[in-house]
């Protein structure tokens, strides 16, 4: 395994001043030296999922092929997303739908952070999706950050001590999964 661990970060929000984007920045800073975090440019470049455009190898739209290539090159994926109308943002679910048949999440270590006003419903829903497409998600690599706007600032600094500790544990858990050391993880506290 080449180090640092190569992480593809996906922000479920397309908003310019997204708290989830700020959380990705915070995780990049907290994991420096251990993770090299590359953020996916934009979910909005990925067209609406249509299986008819994906019938043969290499027939998928260019943006989809680029997304899949970034997933394939990454050792692990970090998803930070808000909840919209008690669900997963459509742009994020759309991108993931393109990977169901291509299996790009199969066996891929994933850390899932859902951050918003609340976030629990979207978290449950997205967790179900990621598990059915065979992502490897340790319980300690899952986190819901409610009231996120009071916990991370626009400089990518986590301003809430408890949240910072939870994020550090999430980084440890994702690293352990990538390095095949999951058995060393302590059980995670219940999210719900
Ligand atoms: C259309 C819309 C629907 C939302 N629905 C929910 C919701 O169901 N649950 C929730 O916790 N937050 C909800 N929110 C609040 C977002 O979670 C919050 O604005 C969050 O900060 C957005 O993430 P971002 O800062 O990364 O863009 C909603 C926001 C918008 C714009």
Distance in Å, CA 60 to ligand 1 centroid: 31
192: pLDDT strictly greater than 80: no
Mean pLDDT of the chain, nearest integer: 95
Round the CA-based radius of gyration of the chain to a whole number and report it.
16
What's the confidence (pLDDT) of residue 187? Answer: 60
Residue-wise pLDDT tens digits, 114-158: 999 999 999 999 999 999 999 999 999 999 999 999 999 999 999
CATH number at residue 176: 3.40.50.360
Q: Within a domain: residue 191? A: no
Q: Within a domain: residue 192? A: no
What's the confidence (pLDDT) of residue 189? Answer: 54
76: pLDDT strictly greater than 60: yes
What's the confidence (pLDDT) of residue 57? Answer: 80
Residues with C-beta less than 6 Å from any ligand 1 atom: 13, 15, 18-20, 82-86, 116-119, 148-149
What's the confidence (pLDDT) of residue 169? Answer: 97
Q: For residue 6, which of 38, 54, 48, 45 has the smallest C-alpha distance?
A: 38
Residue 94 CB contacts under 8 Å (≥ 6 apart), including other chains? 43, 46, 48, 49
Strands 110-116 and 35-39: unpaired
Count how many Cα atoms sit within 13 Å of the Cα of residue 169 in the half-sphere of its side chain: 20
Q: Within a domain: residue 38? A: yes
Q: Within a domain: residue 129? A: yes
Distance in Å, CA 13 to ligand 1 centroid: 9
Q: Within a domain: residue 112? A: yes
Distance in Å, CA 118 to ligand 1 centroid: 8
For residue 147, how many other CB atoms are within 10 A of its CB? 14
Q: How far apart are the first and last CA of the chain?
A: 35
Residue-wise pLDDT tens digits, 14-24: 999 999 999 99
Distance in Å, CA 19 to ligand 1 centroid: 10
* 3-class secondary structure per residue, the chain: CCCCEEEEEEECCCCCCCHHHHHHHHHHHHCECCEEEEECCCHHHCCCCCHHHCCCCCCCCHHHHHHHHHHHHCCEEEEEECCECCECCHHHHHHHHCCCCCCCCCCCEEEEEEEECCCHHHHHHHHHHHHHCCCECCHHHEEEEECHHHCECCCCCECCHHHHHHHHHHHHHHHHHHCCCHHHCCCCCCCC
Q: Which ligand 1 atom sits nearest the alpha carbon of residue 116?
A: 17
What's the confidence (pLDDT) of residue 186? Answer: 61
Candidate of 21, 25, 113, 116 to mutate for ligand 1, largest count of ligand atoms within 8 Å of Cβ:
116
Q: Within a domain: residue 26? A: yes
What's the confidence (pLDDT) of residue 188? Answer: 57
Q: Within a domain: residue 189? A: no
Q: Within a domain: residue 190? A: no
At 102, give phi and psi (nearest 5°).
-80, -15
What's the confidence (pLDDT) of residue 159? Answer: 98
93: pLDDT strictly greater than 70: yes
Provide the domain limits for residue 105. Answer: 5-184
Give the count of domains, the chain: 1
Report the distance separating Cα 9 and Cα 179, nearest Å. Answer: 18
């Amino acid at each position: 395994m080449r180090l640092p661990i190569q992480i593809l970060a996906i922000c479920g929000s397309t908003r310019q001043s997204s708290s989830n984007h700020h959380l990705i920045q915070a995780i990049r800073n907290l994991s420096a030296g251990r993770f090299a975090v590359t953020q996916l440019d934009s979910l909005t470049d990925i067209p609406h999922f249509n299986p008819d455009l994906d019938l043969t190898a290499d027939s998928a739209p260019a943006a989809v092929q680029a997304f899949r290539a970034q997933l394939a090159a990454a050792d692990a994926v970090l998803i930070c997303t808000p909840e919209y109308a008690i669900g997963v943002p459509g742009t994020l679910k759309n991108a993931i739908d393109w990977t169901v048949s291509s299996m790009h999440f199969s066996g891929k270590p994933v850390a899932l952070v859902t951050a918003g006003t609340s976030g629990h419903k979207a978290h449950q829903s997205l967790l179900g999706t990621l598990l059915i497409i065979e992502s490897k998600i340790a319980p300690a690599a899952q986190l819901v950050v409610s009231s996120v706007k009071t916990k991370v600032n626009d400089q990518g600094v986590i301003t809430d001590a408890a949240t910072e500790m939870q994020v550090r544990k999430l980084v440890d858990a994702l690293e352990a999964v990538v390095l095949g050391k999951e058995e060393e993880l302590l059980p995670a506290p219940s999210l719900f």
